[in-house]
Structure 1
Amino acid sequence: MIQEAGRTSSYAPLRVLVYSSNAEMRMCVRKALGRMPDSGIAPLHFVDTATHAAVISMMESGSIDLAILDGEAAPCGGIGLAKQMKDELLQYMPIAIITARADDAWLASWARADAVVSHPVDPVELRGAVLPLLRSRMLT
């Protein structure tokens, strides 16, 4: 059974997990989205993670509204991690994957990613992919 973690307030920041073994990649994602990417959603609070264990721990807490995973992270890539989370976690939260090449989108789709963008991170492309996912997490 899939459960969706509930938000307690539409004013509370949306928590966005950014996973990459590369600190520069995490910074690029944060800069591309910014704290206020859209006036129709709450501000973003970024949670940086660099390890598989940290991602699983944060995702199991149910406090994450969106996960953005680096498909090229090492030693555990974001595509495999997305597949594991979609298969094993009971609560639903959207996952976006950044792939090394646009041709890798099929693999991210196989992992059931909700959005896929390719590297290098383009702010317009990333926002276009993740804003609908963030809007779906807001209280109505």
Structure 2
Amino acid sequence: MSEPAKKILVFSHKPEVRDSIVNAIGRRPAPDLGKVSYVEAASVAEVITEMDSGEIDLAIFDGEAQPTGGIGLTRQLKHELSDCPPIVVAVRRRDDRWLATWSQADAVLVHPLDPLTAAETVADVLRAQRVPAVNG
């Protein structure tokens, strides 16, 4: 029996940025994880609704989103949600990685997104969320 598809939330006010994230990661970031599905959000209200649903396995936020950037939003959600799913922040400049770290992001991607690096990063974060099977 296969696992249900992992649900990834992608947030940016720009549709082309959301598309670039989805296209870089693809529908199957790693063979051992199975397929993923995407939910796109263009506003903070949409992000909060999705995050509150409890159905998101991982979120990817555009650090440059307007008017509220993904970096500040990540920090807010990490402090407000008791069971916050992992969040990956995509930044425009390599030098902004420290801001994503400050936000308590679980990982950072840098534009332009390299498909191999993006898929591997997302796969690593999803693997870290797995609950180990316990026999007994």
Normalising by structure 1, we get a TM-score of 0.89
Pairs aligned (count): 132
Does residue 122 in structure 1 map to residue 114 in structure 2? yes
Alignment counterpart, residue 75 of structure 1, candidates 53, 57, 67: 67
| 1:103 aligned partner | 95
Does residue 44 in structure 1 map to residue 36 in structure 2? yes
Q: Any idea what the Cα deviations from partners look like across 1:29-63, whole Å, max 9, x if unmatched? A: 11111111211002101000000010011111111
CA distance in 2, matches of 1:130, 1:116: 10
Change (3 A) 1:128 1:36: closer
Mapped contact 1:71–1:78 kept (Cα < 8 A)? yes
Amino acid of the structure 2 residue aligned with 1:64: I
| Secondary structure of 2:109 counterpart | strand
Mapped contact 2:30–2:120 kept (Cα < 8 A)? no
Gaps of 5+ in 1: 1-8
CA distance in 2, matches of 1:60, 1:31: 26
Structure with more contact order per residue of length (Cα contacts < 8 Å, sep ≥ 6): 1
Q: Name segments (4+ residues, structure 1) moved above 3 Å.
A: 137-140
| Secondary structure of 1:67 counterpart | strand
Mapped contact 1:40–1:135 kept (Cα < 8 A)? no
| 2:79 aligned partner | 87
Does residue 12 in structure 1 map to residue 19 in structure 2? no
CA distance in 2, matches of 1:41, 1:138: 10
Normalising by structure 2, we get a TM-score of 0.91
Amino acid of the structure 1 residue aligned with 2:91: T
Gaps of 5+ in 2: none
Mapped contact 2:25–2:122 kept (Cα < 8 A)? no
| 1:5 aligned partner | none
More off after superposition, 129-138 vs 24-33: 129-138
Alpha-carbon shift at residue 108 of structure 1 (Å): 0.6
Q: Any idea what the Cα deviations from partners look like across 1:4-52, whole Å, max 9, x if unmatched? A: xxxxx85100000000011011111111111112110021010000000
